[in-house]
Structure 1
Amino acid sequence: MSNTLPQDAINTLEQLQGKFPGNRRAHAKGEFYEAVFTPNGKAIPYTTAPHLQSEPVTATVRFSNSPPDPTAADFLSPAKGMSIHFHQPDGSTSHQVCTTIPMFITKDPKTFIEMLKILGSHKTGVHSIDLGLGIVQLLTTFPEHKKTLLALKEQLKQPPISYAALHYYPIHAFYLVNAEGKRQAIKYEWRPLKEKKSSSFLSSINLSTNYLSEDLEKRLDKGTVSFELFIRLAEDTDATDDPTDTWPTDRQKILIGQLTINKKIFPTESLLFDPTNVGKGIELPDDPILHFRHESYAVSYDRRNKENKKTP
């Protein structure tokens, strides 16, 4: 991979919807929460990862919108994020970076930057773009990515009811490694513990710009919010280097634990969620986008930290 691609990606994101010094270049608007992850032991045959054994671990969770604007209205963000730091007994952390879309838009970093530039050509203001028109052009330019683009377009139609009611996906495949050194390719999926289907339409006219975090705080005032973590086991024919491939739906699925969110917290925004920081008992695939994300996040992290140090 070219050493300039991560820099090019962050530069393009800054041009896309503006530069907001001191903030993440994507998913700038977010809130942090204190949580506990309780594994059920069913992952033990597949991995030695400490947080996937049988003892609970504390976790830091961040829910977020996708734009780089930290003041963007919640209902204008097509994809939502849930990122997690699992705090290991030895003081290290294992990360997951999840989104509500189960696949990435492309498997090639160069193509991803080209797609961002196309979206940027549909600006409607200083800090806004017409995502609908942008996606239409992307469908014309990159018809091979129709599945992902249509999934993104679908999420533009109606704002989500709640952060607590969404499914979240770390997108990439990972290898779980057990005590004998055997590797098993898997994909993760988070599901709300108390999933409720609703046919009610949320009107953006009546929504607060921060309605998702407000909703989550109201839920936490009454109790906890929980998600179940599943793994899907790959078969030999399933790609581990292509995040646009979601794998067939009949793959074996195993419930391996539960994340319980207890309360809102206020850590510093310098906290980094790195999708390649997986810790012991988990290995990375040869996925160009996954490693590109690691390098791009590092660029964003470095820039916002330097900007924050300049702030009086």
Structure 2
Amino acid sequence: MADVIENTEFVPAEGAATPASIVAALKAVAGNPPKVRASFAKGRCVRGRYVPSERVAEITRSVNFTRPGRVLARFSMGGGNPNVPDTNRLVLRGFSFRIETDGETSDILVESAPVHFARTLDQMLAFLKARIPGPDGKPDPAKVKSFSDANPETLNQAKYIAARSLPASFAGTTYWGVHSFPVINEAGKTRFIKFKIVPRIGEIVLTDEEAKEKAVDFLHHDLEDRIRNGGIEFDILALLDRPGDPTMDVTARWPGEDERETVVLGTITIVAIDSDHACDVSIFDPGTLAHGVGYPPDEIFAARLKAYRISLAKRQ
């Protein structure tokens, strides 16, 4: 359990990997496509609204979660390739959303796996370097295997994705926050939570045979159709911590996470497609959090505070 919330930044050791080197490596893995995000390059911008639940104040006093607000959001495909086909089953799906309430803003970034692929920044850089394509346009399998054998926890995310069927819709996908967020409730009590975003329609998947019939941009077409026909709803859940949870290790799930007690913080309803420019002109900044939700203590989150701005500067 946390006692205080302090939005302080992790300072890497001298000579360690940096946010800038991580962005460069992400771009290199994707073949250095210009003017796009270093990660989750392919996406669609949308708008909607947020309505809080009756229990939200038990978890956080944040104005963005305790009051109704406007939502700007982006659904996306993982990786730095803006042309990745939606039929690629081994690529993450992403959902970034911004809640705006009475002049306060919070940005939350979640994805379709409950863990990250690296525990530390140095490990993340080494993971990416092992996957940078060679002259033939492909990574060296021997380098990948050697790194994975020495760092088995870096396969946790890939194994989770590989064990699941192809998502049939952005609207029918569960999204996870891999970080442990310290939160303060209305009573002044502090604890850790993880965000879990659950589709109201339940999870929708495709078989391998069904996937063969789908277009490369089918998720984006499906998104447009569902919004046009009434909108999309997600519940924002808070997974509640227990003593001993690994709040510093983003490659590890909390024990019994799928059976954890949860509290619904509120509901997001997506009602309109917006121009890509509305999302591309800036970033969904993980460091933008209204009081009541603090910075996770792990170094991957700390690196994201700078990496997203570096990526924005490169694509502009």
TM (norm. structure 1) is 0.87
User: 1:115-194 to 2 correspondence within 5 Å?
Assistant: 115-121=127-133, 125=137, 129=138, 138-154=147-163, 158-194=165-201
1:65 aligns to what?
Answer: 77
Larger mean CA deviation between 244-253 and 280-289 belongs to: 244-253
Which amino acid counterpart does residue 188 of structure 1 have in structure 2? F
How far apart, CA to CA, are the structure 2 residues paired with 1:195 and 1:131? 39
Tell me if 1:304 matches 2:315: yes
Q: Which SS does the other structure have where 1:259 is aligned?
A: strand
Give the % identical residues.
Answer: 22
Moved more, 208-217 or 112-121: 112-121
Q: Distance in 2 between matches of 1:205 and 1:111?
A: 35
**CA positional deviation for 1:205:** 3.8
Quote the offset at 1:258 in angstroms. Answer: 0.9
- 1:165 and 1:122 map into 2 onto residues whose CA distance is 36
**Distance in 2 between the 1:47 and 1:70 partners?**
36
- Structure 1 CA distance, aligned partners of 2:291 and 2:281? 24
Instruction: Note if contact 1:132-1:153 (Cα within 8 Å) is conserved in structure 2.
Output: no
Q: C-alpha distance in 2, partners of 1:23/1:174?
A: 28
SS at match of 2:55: coil
Do the aligned partners of residues 130 and 205 (structure 1) sit closer, same or farther apart at CA in structure 2, a change above 3 Å counting? Answer: farther
For residues 146 and 162 of structure 2, the distance between their equivalents in structure 1, rounded to whole angstroms, comes to: 12
- How far is 1:21 from its partner? 2.1
Q: 1:285 aligns with which of 296, 303, 315?
A: 296
Out of 57, 67, 87, the residue aligned to residue 44 of structure 1 is 57
> Quick one: distance in 1 between partners of 2:102 and 2:249?
32
Deviations 1:81-102 (A, max 9, x none): 0000111212x31010111011
Asked whether the equivalents of residues 167 and 190 of structure 1 are also in contact (C-alpha less than 8 Å), the reply is: yes
Cα shift at 1:246: 1.4
| Structure 2 counterpart SS, 1:103 | coil
1: distance between equivalents of 2:147 and 2:266? 38
Query: How far off is 1:188 after superposition?
Result: 0.9
**Using a 3 Å threshold, how does the CA distance of structure 1 residues 196 and 64 change in structure 2: closer, same or farther?**
closer
What is the CA-CA distance between 1:36 and the residue it aligns to? 0.7
Displacement of 1:107: 1.4
Q: Conserved in 1, the CA contact under 8 Å of 2:169 and 2:205?
A: no
- 1:282 is paired with a residue whose SS is coil
Kindly report structure 1 stretches of 4+ aligned residues shifted beyond 6 Å: 130-135
| Residue number among 96, 105, 114 corresponding to 1:102 in the alignment | 114
For residues 165-194 of structure 1, give each alpha carbon's deviation from its aligned partner in whole angstroms, at most 9, with x where no partner exists: 110012101011124432111111011101
Question: Which runs of no fewer than 5 residues in structure 2 stay unpaired?
Answer: 1-11
Name stretches of at least 5 consecutive residues in structure 1 with no aligned partner: 306-312
- Contact between 2:167 and 2:206, CA under 8 Å: does it hold in 1? no
Any residues of structure 2 matched to 1:22-37 within 5 Å, and which? 22-37=35-50
Would you say how many aligned residue pairs link Structure 1 and Structure 2? 298
Which amino acid in the other structure matches residue 70 of structure 1? P
Q: Which of 249, 262, 270 lines up with 1:253 in the alignment? A: 262
Task: Name the residue aligned to 1:222.
Answer: 229
Tell me which residue corresponds to 2:8. none
Structure-2 separation of matches of 1:37 and 1:116: 36
Shift, 1:197, TM fit: 5.1
Name the SS of the counterpart of 2:64 in structure 1.
Answer: helix
- Contact 1:122-1:133 at 8 Å conserved across structures: no
Q: What value does the CA root-mean-square deviation take over the aligned residues?
A: 2.4
Residues 262-298 of structure 1: CA deviation (Å, up to 9, x unaligned) = 0101115122012222221111132111101111112
